[in-house]
Structures are given as C-alpha cells and as structure tokens.
Amino acid sequence: MRKGKSTRKGAGCGSRLSGRDSTQRLKTAKGRKNSSARWLQRQLNDPYVAEARRRGYASRAAFKLMDLDDRFGLLARGRRVVDLGAAPGGWSQVAAERVGVGKAGGGRVAAVDVTPMEPPPGVAVVHGDIRDAPIQDAVDDALGGPADVVLSDMAAPATGHAATDHLRIVALAETALEFAVEMLTPGGAFVCKVLQGGTEATLLAQVKQRFADVRHAKPPSSRAESAEVYLVARGFRPTRQRDEKAQRAA
C-alpha cells in the first residue's frame, strides 16, 4: 500500500459526542406509524445526526468511517479510494478529506452507486452496478490506476427476518469482495459491512485467503441497537493469475 501521511481531521470525534442533555420529543405522532415515529424520535436525539449537519456531511455514517480510519489507518494522504454504495456520500466526503483530494500529493476518490447522487467536492461519481465491466473500467479511469482502498457500506433494506437479512448482506459483501479483488493494488485494504454474530464462514475464508490481516470492528458511532459490524481486511495478496491478466492487458 502506498505510503503517506495520514490526516486525522475529526479524529476521535465519534466517541466524544453525546445527546443525553438535549433530549427532544416529537410534538405529535398523530398519523404516523409506530416505526416512523420511533425513527424520527431517534433522529431528533442522535448527536451524530446533529454533528453531521453542522459539519456538512451527507449522513451520520461519515463518523463510522472516521472511527474505522482512526483505528486502522486506512486513508493516508495520496491513496486512491473506491466507495461502493456511496449514496448519499458521507463516506466519500470523509475519504476525500483524509486522502487530500485536490491538494498537492493528494489522492483520488471514486463513489459508485446505482442510485444517483450529488458528487462531493473532488469526488468522481460512477453511476451503475459494480458487477458490470464498463463500471469497473470507469472506476479505473477515475482513479488513474488500481485502488489502494475499497470501501463498502452497502446494505439491503431490512426485512425484519434475521436469516434473510443476513443472506442479503453477505451477498452484497461477496459482490464487494469480488470487485476489490479485481481493483486493489498489492497491499491494499478492503472494508465491508456485515451483521453481528460473525461473518459467513465461506466469505471469511475467502477474505483471509486474499488478505494478510482481517478484523471485525464496530465503530463507536454505530447505533448500539444495530447489528452491523465491519470487516476490515488489510494487506491484499493478488493471485498470480490476476497479475498475469493485468500484464497482458497492459
């Protein structure tokens, strides 16, 4: 992985936020479903939501990536980063800040999603499905070469059925891993969302085969009631076949 001085703008901010002293309640829940009222109540009293708005981040998820980067040192200046499932753009914003997009010696960030999104400053947005070869080519063009880091915060809408939700998120993680294996430079890093209770054995075995160091992490900024955790893999080891394929393409 390319060497670079990691910026730490906002480092550690996640664990310091608290909303205990400013609890707000909905004036009325009339006409709302219970689930909608609970979601609105939670948003009103979530300090990460308020801080994201104050700092101009597209979502509270920005703090999750800050927490992961502070712990694992993923986003050093000059690195090339792909953000899968990027909309609405919180992770792309953080990645752009920390790799120094638009600055001397800075890196590049490509945000990929099937959902249209406004491009954060300096970020290249690629609209489409990562399983399509033209999308992979577009990402490669946007980065100007292989990726140092592939991030995936992709998640399917929850069904409320634990087994179904688990299978859906594992399928997305497998898709993200396939993309990462094609796009990463040797030594690169891969981050994807999974559900608490352990990554599916086959997926975990595949990740361990390709990366030297594999960890599970739950950022402090993840909601306590959420089952999400992140799989963080560093030290990418490409196969000989992929290297030979890249050499032929060159």
Kindly state whether residue 18 falls inside one of the protein's structural domains: no
What is the pLDDT at residue 6?
A: 41
Kindly state whether residue 82 falls inside one of the protein's structural domains: yes
Cα 181 from Cα 179, distance rounded (Å)? 6
Using DSSP's 3-state secondary structure scheme, residue 135 falls into: helix
Kindly state whether residue 46 falls inside one of the protein's structural domains: no
Kindly state whether residue 87 falls inside one of the protein's structural domains: yes
Tell me the catalytic residues: 193
Kindly state whether residue 210 falls inside one of the protein's structural domains: yes
Using DSSP's 3-state secondary structure scheme, residue 156 falls into: coil
Kindly state whether residue 16 falls inside one of the protein's structural domains: no
pLDDT band at 1 (very low <50, low <70, confident <90, very high): very low
Higher-confidence residue of 12 and 220: namely 220
Task: Output the six-digit token pair for 19.
Answer: 């909303």
Kindly state whether residue 116 falls inside one of the protein's structural domains: yes
Q: Domain range spanning residue 129?
A: 59-249
What is the pLDDT at residue 47?
A: 83
Task: For residue 128, give the amino acid letter.
Answer: G
- Alpha helix positions (H), 8-89: 13-16, 34-44, 47-55, 62-72
pTM of the entire predicted model: 0.80
The domain that holds 214 is classified in CATH as: 3.40.50.150
Express each pLDDT in 143-190 by its tens digit.
Answer: 999 999 999 999 888 788 878 888 889 999 999 999 999 999 999 999
Task: Output the six-digit token pair for 243.
Answer: 């290297």
Number of domains in the chain: 1
Express each pLDDT in 225-248 by its tens digit.
Answer: 888 899 999 999 998 656 555 555
Nearest to 220 by CA among 92, 47, 82: 47
What is the pLDDT at residue 164?
A: 84
Kindly state whether residue 10 falls inside one of the protein's structural domains: no
Residue % of the chain over a pLDDT of 70 = 76
Express each pLDDT in 210-229 by its tens digit.
Answer: 999 999 999 998 888 888 89
Higher-confidence residue of 2 and 57: namely 57
Express each pLDDT in 58-108 by its tens digit.
Answer: 999 999 999 999 999 999 999 999 999 999 999 999 999 999 999 999 999
Nearest to 248 by CA among 236, 240, 38: 240
